[in-house]
Structure 1
Amino acid sequence: MRALPLGARAYVLSAVLTGALCAAPVLRPQAAVPWATVILLAAVYAVGSRTVRAPSPEWCGPVLLTGAFLLPPAAAALVAVPGALLGRVERHPAPVRRAWRAAQLSLAVWAAAYVFRALGGPYALRAAENPGVPGFPRALAAAPVAALVLGLVTAVLEGGVLVLAERRSARAAWRGRHLSALAPQLVHGPAGLAMAVLWRSPYGPGAALLVLLPMYVCACVFALCHRERAAHQATIRALVQAVDIKDRYTRGHSERVGRASVLIARELGMNGDRLEALRIAGILHDVGKLGVPTRLLRKNGPLTPEERRVIELHPEYGHEMVRGIRFLGEARTAILHHHERLDGSGYPYGLAGAQIPEFARVVAVADAFDAMTSTRTYSRARPVDTAVAELKRCAGTQFDPRMVRALARALDRHGWHAAVTADARAEAPDERGNVPPPAPLVRAAAADGPQSPPPTHPGGTP
């Protein structure tokens, strides 16, 4: 607890005490608590929380809701406690996190059980046991409401601890959290209701637990997708790190191009999978430099025509490297064509205008922008306004004017805070994130291939 701020410690302690207070009525001598149901549900939730290999134990959330539907609120609050105290914790302090999780779930389940009772849910369940007694449709309304309450209370409590323990702003702590917490409850509510009905049916708890089987299958599929996505990201990081190690002049360049590409894409109305694919395209656009001799990438003088032709092969090298990585999809076209020019004078194939894929036109602008605004060993950064002016000057011949306008709008709205490379001497940025005006450029083996003066590509890259 000492590692937590005082406010966070008080918050966690208050949650624990409040959870204990909510569960205290079960200790009354006159309390009629169905302990067999409490113990069985708590054991099922604890086993699911401890043993199932999934991103989170929430696949067995219907177990908590079944407790909320079948038990009094005080008893329902106990169902989550063993699982929370025994569950996996990856960050320290583990005891505090377990206690917090137990208190958070206890309060959420207690609130769900209370709302379910207030809406007449228990009466509706009793009606389900006797087909001739009306009233079950009320449970169909009460169960989803109770499930949403469970998700909402969990999200609110989680946001509070993030504000106090991690010093996040309230907006950042709760942004998107309610939606991510409430969405699963749309499934968990009906599943929990089905378990509760079967629990009280002649088939008993055994039949009720079968409801968890499809939930478990869904959780396994989700975990598989989660691991696959993590593997994708690890593949991308490994490729980028390999490029950064090989070409120390442009360390961090790939990530910044990915960020600038996303700024442009959002202005163009892209979202979802296309936005993510374009971010990856920006990050991997220079992966072909792995096929270029290191001595050329690090050469400090002008290149010969033959050396220049070798460097200009890096888009094709990159495309060949990632051609078999199917999840990259449209990003592969940007890797191959990000050095094409609108007037047809680019490489490797001399495409012009609309022949150049949209992703490649976005990445070309993002690449040139970062080349101009980043400090490197052979050139100092240009101010953002100067870089944008140069992009506009070359729009229509070298760059797609629509992409340039989109970047300019995004920079006006969000600004740009570029990091310098690890090997460059960083100049102190001003309040807008710009570094001082550049000294005259010294031609060298630039990140995307050098060229003979006078430069025709902003930032000195062809």
Structure 2
Amino acid sequence: MLLAAAASLLPLLPGAPARIGLPARLVGPVDWPKVGLLALLHTCWESLAQGLPTPCLRLARRARLRIAQALGRGSRPRAAVSGEPVRPSANTFLPVLFAGVLMLPPAAAALVALPATLTGAAAAPRLLRRAWNAAQFALAAWPASALFRLLDGPWLLLGSRYPDALLPALAAVLVFCLVNGVLVAGIRLLAERCSMAELRRGALSVLGPPAFLHALGGLLVAVLWQGPYGAFAALLALLPLSISAWVFAQGHRERAAHRATVEALVQAVEIKDSYTRGHSERVGRASVLIAGQLGMVGERLRTLHFAGTLHDVGKLGVATELLRRNGPLTEAERRAVEVHPEYGHDLVRGIDFLGEAHAGILHHHERMDGRGYPHGLAGERIPEFARIIAVADAFDSMTSTRSYRRGRPVPEAVAELRRCAGSQFDPLMVEALVTAVDRCGWQPVLPPVEQADAAVPDIPLGVPEPVSRSVARGPR
């Protein structure tokens, strides 16, 4: 791909267009001051947008590093828990690049993003990744600019036929986004082994409203630049666009900081309780499936995902030998483990962005009949987040293999949830999970069993004896 990007710049060499046989429309004279100014604007914007990491993100990364070093597990970061793909150059200020696509020949348009990406201003710390990003934008800009010129776009702009230039501009932006999306999907397929469904969603996500709003911004810059006031008017138009894009970039970074904070806490829990590795993320995912059936969207859905992912963070306050015990616990040991929701609530109380997640973490072991813990709440008094997480937690626990028992097939787990609906679980949440699993599927987790004990029977989830308030599978 790097060679293809380099080849796209060949028309800039003297005499190269004639040898290559490019159409005259795709060549044209290069306005080097314009190329330099656009590249400078793009580089300055990327440097401003990236800036220094937010304090929350720095603390989260430092916490993850120290946790891993203290426990001798290395410092390699885990996969993001948000379920959202990480896209290269997510904060790129596209109006400048689109303006270059509309005003410059293809080879010159491919140059605009190179200084920011190659110098590291676009948040790519490694040289190979910077080279990839540079090639990615070059290969996206070249065909977009070529299509715009083949559709007579530059001549429509020069002739002040701005409305007529709108359709060629949108077509060029569509090509830019499609090429960019395909390249991102390709690298994710090679590096992250993503599913085809995830790749399709990622490729289509670049065609959303933000991309076309950026396109209109790029067209506005190009129109003003070609007018009587030239670059000065274009720079004034970029000012409000830059402010709004900067605010969006800061919001994106703040969300990344939130995810990093959650990752740090989850990593600490799963290092301490190795038999539940991956359980936290799966509970978060199952909680989102349930909430989706209930119509929950937006920020509240994101907060629920955090709550499900952090539901067992209180295990950090429980003795490690109790968490790793293969056999049954004594009554005193069970009471010591049952304190973990309160530990978790105390641990995350000061994290403001979790909001409603605090109640979900504290009450996810409550029961509909009031025999749960820590406060013995019943029915609708149990927060909605907690009722969702309780079902998601039980479902993943039943379908996951542990050292002391094998996981159940999904149909058996569903039957057990329905049997306990009304007494232990909210029937509405149970049916929402069943519907979501039927629609989206669920793959039971079968990790390697280090100390398999086939003689230990699987235990029903319900609790018929009144002497025990906890679920029979244990709060682990």
| CA separation of 1:348 and 1:154: change in aligned 2, threshold 3 A | closer
When normalised by structure 2's length, the TM-score is: 0.74
Q: Report SS of the residue matched to 2:473.
A: helix
Cα offsets for 1:60-114 (capped at 9, x unmatched): 4223333343345565455445555555544574586266335413424423532
Alignment of 1:130-209 (within 5 A): 135-139=161-165, 142-156=168-182, 158-159=184-185, 172-181=198-207, 183-209=209-235
In the aligned structure 2, how far is the partner of 1:239 from the partner of 1:94?
29
What TM-score results when the alignment is normalised by the length of structure 1?
0.76
Q: CA deviation at 1:355?
A: 1.7
Pick from 402, 420, 425: which aligns with 2:428? 402
Q: Secondary structure at the match of 1:41?
A: helix
Sort the Cα spacing of 1:182 and 1:104 in 2 relative to 1 into closer, same or farther, 3 A: farther
Structure 2 residues without counterparts, runs of 5 or longer: 19-23, 52-87
Map 1:41-190 to 2 at 5 A.
41-46=38-43, 48=45, 53=50, 56=89, 59-73=92-106, 75-80=108-113, 86=119, 89-90=124-125, 93=128, 97=132, 100-101=135-136, 103-114=138-149, 117-118=151-152, 122-127=155-160, 135-139=161-165, 142-156=168-182, 158-159=184-185, 172-181=198-207, 183-190=209-216
Once the two structures are overlaid, the 10-residue window that deviates more, 46-55 or 227-236, is 46-55
SS in 1 for 2:366: coil
Written as runs of structure 1 = structure 2, the 5 A alignment for 1:336-351 is 336-351=362-377
Deviation at 1:256, TM superposition (A): 2.7
Q: Is the 8 A contact 1:81 1:106 kept in 2?
A: no
| Kept in 1: contact 2:173–2:215 (CA 8 A) | yes
Decide whether the 8 Å contact of 2:275 with 2:403 is kept in 1.
yes
Compared CA separation, residues 17 and 158, structure 1 to 2 (3 A):
farther
Aligned residue number for residue 33 of structure 2: 36
Q: Are the equivalent residues in 1 in contact too, given 2:368–2:426 (CA < 8 A)?
A: yes
Residues in 2 aligned to 1:441 and 1:153: alpha-carbon distance in whole angstroms: 52
Deviations 1:168-218 (A, max 9, x none): 676543434234245333222332233233323443323322333333333
Q: Following the alignment from structure 1 to structure 2, what is the Cα–Cα distance between the partners of residues 166 and 241?
A: 20
- Give the letter for the 1:101 counterpart: Q
Aligned to 1:412: 438
Which range moved further: 339-348 or 407-416? 407-416
Matched residue type, 1:314 = H
Pair 1:282-2:308 in alignment: yes
2:457 to 431, 434, 440: 440
The residue type paired with residue 104 of structure 1 is: L
Residues 307 and 358 of structure 2 are in contact (CA less than 8 Å); yes or no, is this contact kept in structure 1?
yes
In structure 2, how many angstroms separate the alpha carbons of the residues matched to 1:391 and 1:347?
19
| Secondary structure of residue in 2 paired with 1:381 | coil
Give the letter aligned to residue 457 of structure 2.
P
Q: Which runs of 5+ in 1 are unaligned?
A: 1-10, 128-134, 428-436
How far does the alpha carbon of each residue in 1:411-462 deviate from its partner, in whole angstroms, 9 at most, with x for none? 33444333356774469xxxxxxxxx8742599xx9xx9x999997353459
Aligned length: 429
CA distance in 1, matches of 2:218, 2:434: 51
Q: Which residue of the other structure, out of 248, 255, 262, is the alignment partner of 1:222?
A: 248
Summarize deviations over 1:216-274 as a string: whole Å, max 9, x none.
33343233223322222222122223323433443433233223323323333333333
State the structure with more CA Rg. Answer: 1
Contact 1:375/1:424 (CA < 8 Å) preserved in 2?
no
Query: Is structure 2 residue 328 aligned with structure 1 residue 314?
Result: no
Q: 1:79 to 1:304 in 2, by over 3 A?
A: closer
Report which stretch shifted further, 262-271 or 235-244: 262-271
Aligned counterparts of 1:348 and 1:311: Cα–Cα separation in 2: 11
- Name the structure 2 match of 1:266: 292
Could you say what secondary structure the match of 2:146 adopts? helix
| % identical equivalent positions | 51
For the Cα contact (< 8 Å) 1:124–1:139, is it kept in 2? yes
- Residues of 1 paired with 2:28 and 2:326: CA distance? 83
- Paired letter, 2:136: R
Equivalent residues of 1:388, 1:408 under 8 A apart: yes
Partner residue of 2:354? 328
Superposition CA RMSD, Å: 4.1
Looking at structure 2, the residues matched to 210 and 242 of structure 1 have their Cα atoms a distance apart, in angstroms, of 49
Q: Is residue 364–residue 390 contact of structure 2 (8 Å, CA) maintained in 1? A: yes
